[in-house]
């Protein structure tokens, strides 16, 4: 039988000018950190196997066929392998570069939908709001219940994963929202595409917590989606446009930091310097911008968070979003902020930094693997006995809320900012956001 990967040419099949590809020493220490390897125990579904395949393609030894694409696309882009790798291999950059060369995969319809979302939807906040309004109408008019009965099982399951769209969206402001008390910093806040339409209360809480900590807050109106979903799926043309627009929106505002409350967005924005490295007009500005990006917990820890005065009587556990723990190496700061809340009991979860299976749109494109990881995650949460799980990333929040409904335990799922806002009593202060 012929090797399904073997190329008939010795020419490079993909052009990858990234040195990371040659740093892997094949030690295998990343294998057990990889969710897909832990489930399937197949080398080609491991980081080492995927790096080997990409390298073989770059050297003209294998073809970029469907089978090759399937191994790369089953990867969650969780970057747990980067945390485990002693050689510092930046797997995310290798996979993103390979996916860029591969282009979108799947059926014609799936490719068209992905192309529309990446180039005609995500870069346009007004269109996103329109789509969210349509979804809200669909959910509230009762149409949702009718359609659900007509759908085949797989689509019915996807339909039940749709988040409930709130009655209002987060609004940016033309004004500077002033610090409460003495001003300690001036910061910009990324409003984000999903956060704006699905989690407006978390964005409000983020602004209030920053103000309680002495920050003047700017939410530039010309900002757009960070482009993370595009980059992870190999679409870089629109992603670069979005990165440039965000750099322009924030860099002129005289800020001490650009604050992000969504792990995936923060990780992507810290990589703008890499994304725009070949753009003579933006390469340097992108480096400066990326250095100014901080996750909200990282920023508060550096600033020295004001001790919250109010009690929050709750037992909570913490889910490390992959792009916070592995992508940004931010692990201790959110835990420290939680432990500083009076009355709150913190309990650690086994495998807290294992992916919950959300991974952008992965739960839609690879439902079996995603559900397997989610089921395992919900078991770990159940073992903690916590009443709530804290997961500061919109994808993880949606996935875990779905997991609580489908598998139990019936835990609440919060963003870190939800609890901090309560602990500062800022949720009762309607003037602060």
The residues of the shown chain that bind ligand SF4, judged by CB under 6 A, are: 24-30, 33-36, 47-48, 50-51, 75-81, 84-85, 87, 89, 91
Nearer to ligand SF4, 123 or 327 (CB): 327
Neighbours of 405 (CB within 10 A): 11
In angstroms, give the least distance from the CB of 45 to ligand SF4.
8
Buried/exposed code over 2-21 (b: 16+ C-beta within 10 A; e: otherwise): eeebebeeeeebbebebebb
Nearer to ligand SF4, 72 or 300 (CB): 72
Nearer to ligand SF4, 55 or 415 (CB): 55
Nearer to ligand SF4, 81 or 180 (CB): 81
In angstroms, give the least distance from the CB of 20 to ligand SF4.
9
Q: What is the dihedral of CA 255, 260, 264, 270, to 10 degrees?
A: 20
- Six-digit token pair at 89? 């291999």
Nearer to ligand SF4, 244 or 377 (CB): 377
Nearer to ligand SF4, 77 or 219 (CB): 77
In angstroms, give the least distance from the CB of 94 to ligand SF4.
9
In angstroms, give the least distance from the CB of 34 to ligand SF4.
3
In angstroms, give the least distance from the CB of 71 to ligand SF4.
9
Helices (H), 75-199: 80-84, 91-102, 108-116, 125-140, 143-150, 153-160, 193-198
How far apart (Å, rounded) are the C-alpha atoms in residues 197 and 368?
27
Contact criterion met (CB below 8 Å) for 386 and 409 = no
Contact criterion met (CB below 8 Å) for 30 and 84 = yes
Residue matched to tokens 């659900």: 148
In angstroms, give the least distance from the CB of 365 to ligand SF4.
13
In angstroms, give the least distance from the CB of 374 to ligand SF4.
15
Nearer to ligand SF4, 79 or 208 (CB): 79
Nearer to ligand SF4, 365 or 387 (CB): 365
In angstroms, give the least distance from the CB of 101 to ligand SF4.
17
172: left (phi over 0), alpha (psi -120 to 50) or beta: beta
How far apart (Å, rounded) are the C-alpha atoms in residues 98 and 100?
5
How far apart (Å, rounded) are the C-alpha atoms in residues 328 and 326?
6
Work out the burial of residue 428: count CB atoms within 10 Å of its CB; fewer than 13 is exposed, 13-18 middle, 19 or more buried: exposed
Nearer to ligand SF4, 232 or 415 (CB): 232
Nearer to ligand SF4, 195 or 267 (CB): 267
Contact criterion met (CB below 8 Å) for 78 and 322 = yes
Contact criterion met (CB below 8 Å) for 80 and 355 = yes
Nearer to ligand SF4, 94 or 215 (CB): 94
In angstroms, give the least distance from the CB of 96 to ligand SF4.
10
259: left (phi over 0), alpha (psi -120 to 50) or beta: beta
Strand ranges in 347-385 using DSSP code E only, listed in sequence order: none
In angstroms, give the least distance from the CB of 295 to ligand SF4.
19
In sequence order, what DSSP letters do the residues of 182-240 get, joined into one string?
S--EEEEE---HHHHHH-HHHHHHHHHHHHHTTEEEE--TT-----HHHHHTT--HHHH
How far apart (Å, rounded) are the C-alpha atoms in residues 422 and 425?
5
How far apart (Å, rounded) are the C-alpha atoms in residues 153 and 422?
40
In angstroms, give the least distance from the CB of 31 to ligand SF4.
7
């Amino acid at each position: 039988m012929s090797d399904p990967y073997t190329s008939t040419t010795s020419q490079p099949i993909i052009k990858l000018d990234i040195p990371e590809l040659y740093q892997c020493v094949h030690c295998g220490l990343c294998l057990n950190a990889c969710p897909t390897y832990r489930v399937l125990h197949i080398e080609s579904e491991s980081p080492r196997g995927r790096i080997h395949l990409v390298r073989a393609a770059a050297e003209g030894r294998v073809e970029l066929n469907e089978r090759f694409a399937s191994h790369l696309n089953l990867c969650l882009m969780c970057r747990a392998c980067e945390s485990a790798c002693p050689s510092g291999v930046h797997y995310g950059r290798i996979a993103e570069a390979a996916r860029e060369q591969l282009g979108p995969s799947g059926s014609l319809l799936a490719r068209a939908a992905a192309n529309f979302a990446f180039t005609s939807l995500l870069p346009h906040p007004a269109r996103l709001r329109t789509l969210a309004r349509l979804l809200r109408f669909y959910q509230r008019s009762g149409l949702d219940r009718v359609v659900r009965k007509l759908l085949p099982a797989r689509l019915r399951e996807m339909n039940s994963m749709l988040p409930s769209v709130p009655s209002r969206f987060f609004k940016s402001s033309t004004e500077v929202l002033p610090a409460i008390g003495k001003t300690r910093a001036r910061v910009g806040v990324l409003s984000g595409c999903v956060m704006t339409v699905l989690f407006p209360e978390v964005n409000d809480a983020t602004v209030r917590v920053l103000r309680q900590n002495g920050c003047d807050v700017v939410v530039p109106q010309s900002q757009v989606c960070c482009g993370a979903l595009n980059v992870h799926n190999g679409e870089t043309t629109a992603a670069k446009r979005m990165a440039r627009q965000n750099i322009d929106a924030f860099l002129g505002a005289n800020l001490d930091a650009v604050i992000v409350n969504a792990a995936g967005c923060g990780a992507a924005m810290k990589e703008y310097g890499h994304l725009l490295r070949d753009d003579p007009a933006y390469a340097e500005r992108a480096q400066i911008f990326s250095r100014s990006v901080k996750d909200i917990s990282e920023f508060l820890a550096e600033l020295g968070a004001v001790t919250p005065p109010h009690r929050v009587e709750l037992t909570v556990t913490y889910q490390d979003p992959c792009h916070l723990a592995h992508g940004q190496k931010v692990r201790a700061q959110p835990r420290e902020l939680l432990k500083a809340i009076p009355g709150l009991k913190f309990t650690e979860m086994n495998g807290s930094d294992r992916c919950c299976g959300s991974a952008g749109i992965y739960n839609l494109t690879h439902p079996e693997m995603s559900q397997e990881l989610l089921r395992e995650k919900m078991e770990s949460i159940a073992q903690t006995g916590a009443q709530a799980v804290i997961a500061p990333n919109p994808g993880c929040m949606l996935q875990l809320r779905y997991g609580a409904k489908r598998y139990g335990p019936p835990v609440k799922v919060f963003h870190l900012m939800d609890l901090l806002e309560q602990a500062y009593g800022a949720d009762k202060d309607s003037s602060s956001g």
